[in-house]
């Protein structure tokens, strides 16, 4: 990974993050904050320097990575996804430190899962801490818009005690650090990544529908790139924010009553899967889960086999793909 660290000095931005909004946060040019990860000429920076296209074709996918590691902050991008037949295509916008902590890495994921023509894209969030890849914490949702028609903003707020995922400044998922979650709450510095790759083996109906390269190239467009957090010394893995426990420079997160209502409405209308309610996967919910009876009832009606504990025929199972496997994913 090509990384530059501004002379190894820590940069700790003043973060006003209570609302999860991107307003008044600086938008970086690509060269200021990112480097190409893989994909050769499948990554294209546009003339304004603040927009970038990554594409997937029969040769390879592509992606980029932040030049710095960050320990907490607000990370965001406006993304427009490929249109038409996109089965098997995966666009990922995520944080990870898998290159540094191979056996106990942390990760925060937005994964966008393509679909056959006439079916909607799905969005998946996931959380891994301290190498806990054996416990997937996936949630999956539909959206109230077509993400291939225009740009929409996807954001991650990560603090010492809280993780919030946002779509167009609407919180869709909140994870609060708890004693039950223990070391599985992401706590080590991470880089921010964006990739597009071939997930034919699992992404659409468990691998039933695969990428069709007659529709390639598949192009994902990114703009309004925001890296607003505590940059970290790459050797010491420490930040000035760590030594300013009462400082306003430490990112904080909260959801207003209005935002919470929007989040509850989103989850009621659009959530299609949550690991906490998956009775075929877990006999008892993982200890950090807080069961919402209304969510449980709605998901049971949506999929009585998965969320009601009934029997199912065997289908392919999605296995977690690490950052490195995403970067190396090529056409099948």
> Which residue numbers are catalytic?
107, 111
Token readout for 211 is 């990428």
- Other beta carbons within 10 Å of 23: 7
- Burial (CB < 10 A; 0-12, 13-18, 19+), residue 226, is buried
DSSP for residue 132: -
41 backbone dihedrals φ, ψ, rounded to 5°: -80, 10
Decide if 188 contacts 237 (C-beta within 8 A). Answer: yes
- What's the order of all strands across the beta sheet hosting 34-38? 34-38, 62-66, 191-198, 89-96, 107-113, 122-128, 139-141, 271-274
DSSP-H helix ranges across the chain: 30-33, 257-270, 293-302, 304-308, 323-328
Polymer length in residues for the chain: 332
């Amino acid at each position: 990974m090509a990384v530059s660290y501004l002379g190894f000095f820590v940069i700790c931005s003043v973060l006003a993050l209570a609302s999860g909004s991107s307003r008044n946060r600086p938008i970086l040019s690509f060269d200021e904050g990112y480097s190409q990860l893989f994909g050769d000429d499948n990554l294209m920076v546009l003339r304004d320097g603040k927009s970038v296209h990554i594409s997937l074709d029969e040769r390879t996918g592509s992606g980029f990575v932040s030049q710095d590691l960050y320990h907490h902050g607000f990370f965001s991008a406006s993304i427009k996804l490929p249109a038409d037949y996109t089965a098997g295509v995966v666009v990922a916008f995520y944080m990870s430190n898998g290159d540094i902590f191979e056996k106990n890495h942390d990760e925060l994921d937005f994964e966008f899962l393509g679909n056959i023509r006439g079916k909607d894209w799905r969005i998946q969030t996931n959380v891994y801490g301290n190498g806990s890849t054996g416990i997937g914490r996936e949630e999956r949702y539909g959206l109230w818009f077509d993400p291939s028609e225009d740009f929409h903003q996807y954001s991650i707020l990560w603090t010492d005690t809280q993780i919030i995922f946002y779509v167009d400044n609407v919180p869709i998922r909140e994870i609060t650090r708890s004693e039950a979650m223990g070391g599985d709450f992401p706590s080590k510095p991470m880089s921010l990544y964006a990739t597009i790759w071939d997930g034919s083996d699992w992404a659409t109906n468990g691998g039933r529908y695969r990428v069709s390269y007659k529709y390639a190239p598949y192009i994902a467009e990114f703009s309004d790139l925001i890296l607003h957090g505590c940059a970290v010394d790459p050797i010491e893995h420490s930040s000035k924010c760590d030594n300013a426990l009462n400082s306003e420079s430490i990112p904080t997160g909260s959801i207003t009553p209005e935002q919470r209502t929007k989040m509850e409405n989103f989850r009621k209308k659009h959530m299609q899967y949550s690991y906490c309610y998956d009775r075929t996967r877990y006999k008892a919910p993982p200890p950090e889960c807080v069961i919402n009876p209304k969510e449980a009832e709605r998901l049971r009606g949506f999929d009585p086999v998965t969320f009601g504990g009934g029997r199912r025929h065997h289908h392919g199972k999605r296995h977690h793909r690490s950052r490195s496997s995403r970067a190396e994913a090529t056409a099948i």
